[in-house]
Structure formats: structure tokens, C-alpha cells
């Protein structure tokens, strides 16, 4: 099983917190679609013919593309790759792009999952973040997607926003669960260096949530979603039973994936590769047949570290038997030795004697636990 990620690097305007690669130069859309099709063709052997079970259009803002752009990309994908008839095909979308007319056009394309970037239902906080939609637009867009027949919808939320209170977060959670999306991703705001929001914090014009508040919000998140029937299957991801994101889960379970477009990452089991984070450089390089990526060959300790970080994030946990088979007795013993104090403190537990999983207490300090288990030369 393999996945394909297509990066769509266009945004109508930039949100203040964002450090994903994107540009507001929408006029390059046509040239970009041609280049993306060419990259898909040039790299058609990357997955060695493995069946593709997930396709993910991420960004940027993929909903800035037109239906004819998607048609060209799907034609190329279906011609060149072995796409499973039951593949999960996700489109990330911004609420204000999801007009009734646009959703109707999307429903005629192969998409069967939508991921809507709502972030918050609080008007003031949406403005603080420079989001371009309102809370009402988000709710309307969601209902229109349902009416158009989309039965698998994810929404993205953020918490720990500047000056956000627990009550505002509770309101977001209640509004979100009232919509009953199949999937909810909820991330704590990160002040990424160099972003406008980071500069505002440096200038003391916004206040970062303190640790106590962040913890209280995370606790509310877990409790509220659990009470409403959502499974907490990854640190930041929740779903109704059976509705986990197959694409993201494939990253956490070590499946191979091809990533196309500027800044996209790929993984074939032995190497990791990432494309240049510049649309102009990408377009020129693809046209001229020049390389536009860097590659890292993954040695055994790096693959072990990746395995620790990705598997411990999920409710499926870290299989010790798999760890021994893939990385040998030395790293297996090391992992058990480093995990022992966390098991004793109740941060990690053993499921079925073979699988290490984070406990609810452990989830709060997951970064520290993972870093303790990593192999450092």
C-alpha cells in the first residue's frame, strides 16, 4: 500500500501563524498544473507499481484550483498509477471557497473526503489569525458539503490562540461536535519563527497561552471529544469509529508515499526526499529537467528513531516484536531500557505484552517520552 500527496501551493492570502510553503501568485496556476503532471510522469516508478490507496491534495489551499485543474491531475494520476478503486481521496479546502456551486463541481470529481480548515468558530480569533472566512461561512460550507453527499468530512481546529479563553475553546468544541464531522484534527498554535504572529509576540503585541492553560485546553479537548463518541487515535487526531484518516495513518505506520510539488516530501522505505520550497525554482527546474530536490539516505538509527516517533503517536502503539525484527536486539534492548522508567511512572503501558502505548498521562508529555527513547550517537 502506498500514498500520493500533491502540494497545491496557492493561498489567496497568508494567515499570520502559517509557515507552510505557499504563495499568493495564483496567476501561475496553469503553468503549475502542467509542471505537476510532468513531475507525476517523471517519477512514476518511485512507488515501484505499488497500489495507491490514498491520494491527498494538501497545501497551501487546494480549493483555489478549478475543476478543470483537478480533471487534468486525475487524468494523469489514473493513467500512470495503480489507484485502488476504494482509495481515500482527500481535498483540503478553505470554508469560503466552498460555495454551493464549487461543492457541486467537486462532487463530480473522484474526491470522497474533505478536510476543511476551520481553525476556530470565534470571529475575533479568526480575524487575529488573518483567516479569510467567518464562523458562519464555515458552518454553512459544512452543511453544503453534507447536502452534496460528502459522507467523510474532517475539520481542523486550533487552540492556545492569542488571548483565547477556555470558554472560547469550549464553544469551538461544542460547535464542532454539533456538526458531527467524521474526523477532527486539533492542533495547539505554534509560534513558528519568522511568521508575522511570531513577530507580534516578540513585539509583545500578542500573548502566548501559558502551559497551565494549554494543558487545560488539551484536557477539555480529549474529554469533550471522548464524551461525544470520538476516538483519540493520534495525539492531535480524533475520529468517529472507523473514520481515521487513512492517508495520515500511512505516514505514522511507515507506508511509502510519493509527494509532488514544491516542499513536498517522499519516502520509499530507505530514503527521504524533499522538493525545493520555491514555486519559481520548481517550475523552471521541471521545465528544464533539472533536479529540484534533496535526498537523505536513512541509516538504521534514523529509521529506528522514525519508528519510535511515528508509532508512539498513535493508539496502535509501538510493536516490540516489529521493532526487534526490523532493528535488531541492540536497539530493542535499548528501547526497553529507556521505556522502563516511563512504564513505572504510568506514562507508557504495555498492551498485549507486545505493544507500547502512551497512557492519557503520557500523552501530555509525549515529546519528552519520545525523545528519551530515541537513539543518540
User: Measuring CA to CA, how many Å separate 15 from each of 23, 37, 203?
Assistant: 11, 28, 18
Q: Cβ closer to ligand SF4: 115 or 249? A: 115
Binding site for ligand SF4 (CB under 6 A): 11, 14-15, 18, 20, 22, 59-61, 94, 117
Handedness of CA 169, 171, 176, 177 (dihedral sign): positive
- State the nearest-atom distance from the C-beta of 22 to ligand SF4, in Å: 5
Q: Cβ closer to ligand SF4: 87 or 184? A: 184
Q: Cβ closer to ligand SF4: 15 or 243? A: 15
- State the nearest-atom distance from the C-beta of 16 to ligand SF4, in Å: 9
Bridge partners, residue 3, by sequence: 54, 257
Length of the chain: 377
- State the nearest-atom distance from the C-beta of 15 to ligand SF4, in Å: 3
- State the nearest-atom distance from the C-beta of 290 to ligand SF4, in Å: 27
User: Measuring CA to CA, how many Å separate 108 from each of 20, 77, 341?
Assistant: 29, 17, 54
Would you say 258 and 36 are in contact if contact means Cβ atoms under 8 Å apart?
Answer: no
Query: Measured at CB, which residue is nearest to ligand SF4?
Result: 18
Q: Cβ closer to ligand SF4: 52 or 145? A: 145
- State the nearest-atom distance from the C-beta of 124 to ligand SF4, in Å: 18
DSSP 81-103: S-EEEEEEEEEEE-GGG--HHHH
- Closest to 189 in 3D by CA, of 128, 114, 250: 128
Q: Cβ closer to ligand SF4: 129 or 312? A: 129
Buried b (16+ CB within 10 A) or exposed e, 58-79: bbbbbbbbeeebbebbbebbee
- State the nearest-atom distance from the C-beta of 131 to ligand SF4, in Å: 7
Question: CA–CA separation, 343 vs 336, rounded Å?
Answer: 10
- State the nearest-atom distance from the C-beta of 14 to ligand SF4, in Å: 4
Q: Under 8 Å CB-to-CB from 268, ≥6 apart: which residues? A: 46, 47, 256
Rounded to a whole number, what is the largest CA-CA distance in the chain? Answer: 59
Amino acid at each position: 500500500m502506498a500514498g500520493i500527496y500533491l502540494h497545491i501551493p496557492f493561498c489567496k492570502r497568508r494567515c499570520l501563524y502559517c509557515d507552510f510553503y505557499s504563495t499568493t501568485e495564483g496567476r501561475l496556476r496553469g503553468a503549475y498544473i502542467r509542471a505537476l503532471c510532468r513531475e507525476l510522469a517523471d517519477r512514476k516508478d518511485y512507488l515501484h507499481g505499488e497500489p495507491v490507496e490514498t491520494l491527498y491534495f494538501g497545501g497551501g489551499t487546494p480549493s483555489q484550483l478549478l475543476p478543470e485543474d483537478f480533471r487534468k491531475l486525475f487524468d494523469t494520476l489514473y493513467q500512470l498509477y495503480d489507484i485502488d478503486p476504494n482509495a481515500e481521496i482527500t481535498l483540503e479546502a478553505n470554508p469560503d471557497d466552498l460555495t454551493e456551486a464549487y461543492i457541486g463541481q467537486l462532487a463530480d470529481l473522484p474526491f470522497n473526503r474533505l478536510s476543511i480548515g476551520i481553525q476556530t468558530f470565534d470571529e475575533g480569533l479568526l480575524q487575529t489569525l488573518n483567516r479569510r472566512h467567518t464562523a458562519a461561512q464555515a458552518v454553512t460550507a459544512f452543511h453544503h458539503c453534507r447536502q452534496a453527499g460528502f459522507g467523510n468530512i474532517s475539520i481542523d481546529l486550533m487552540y492556545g490562540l492569542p488571548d483565547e479563553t477556555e470558554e472560547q475553546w469550549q464553544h469551538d468544541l461544542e460547535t464542532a461536535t454539533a456538526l458531527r464531522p467524521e474526523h477532527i484534527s486539533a492542533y495547539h498554535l505554534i509560534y513558528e519563527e519568522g511568521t508575522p504572529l511570531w513577530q507580534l509576540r516578540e513585539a509583545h503585541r500578542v500573548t502566548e497561552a501559558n502551559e497551565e492553560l494549554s494543558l487545560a485546553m488539551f484536557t477539555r479537548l480529549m474529554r469533550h471529544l471522548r464524551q461525544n463518541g470520538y476516538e483519540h487515535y493520534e495525539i492531535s487526531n480524533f475520529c468517529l469509529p472507523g473514520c481515521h484518516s487513512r492517508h495520515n495513518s500511512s505516514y505514522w505506520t511507515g507506508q511509502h508515499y510519493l509527494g509532488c510539488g514544491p516542499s513536498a516530501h517522499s519516502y520509499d522505505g530507505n530514503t527521504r526526499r524533499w522538493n525545493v520550497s520555491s514555486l519559481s525554482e520548481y517550475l523552471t527546474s521541471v521545465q528544464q529537467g533539472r533536479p529540484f530536490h534533496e535526498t537523505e539516505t536513512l541509516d538504521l538509527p534514523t529509521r529506528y528513531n522514525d519508528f519510535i516517533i511515528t508509532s508512539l503517536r498513535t493508539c496502535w502503539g509501538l510493536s516490540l516484536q516489529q521493532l526487534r525484527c526490523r532493528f535488531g536486539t541492540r536497539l530493542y534492548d535499548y528501547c526497553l531500557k529507556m521505556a522502563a522508567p516511563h512504564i513505572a511512572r504510568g506514562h507508557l503501558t504495555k498492551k498485549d505484552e507486545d505493544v507500547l502505548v502512551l497512557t492519557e498521562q503520557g500523552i501530555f508529555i509525549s515529546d519528552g517520552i519520545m525523545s528519551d527513547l530515541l537513539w543518540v550517537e
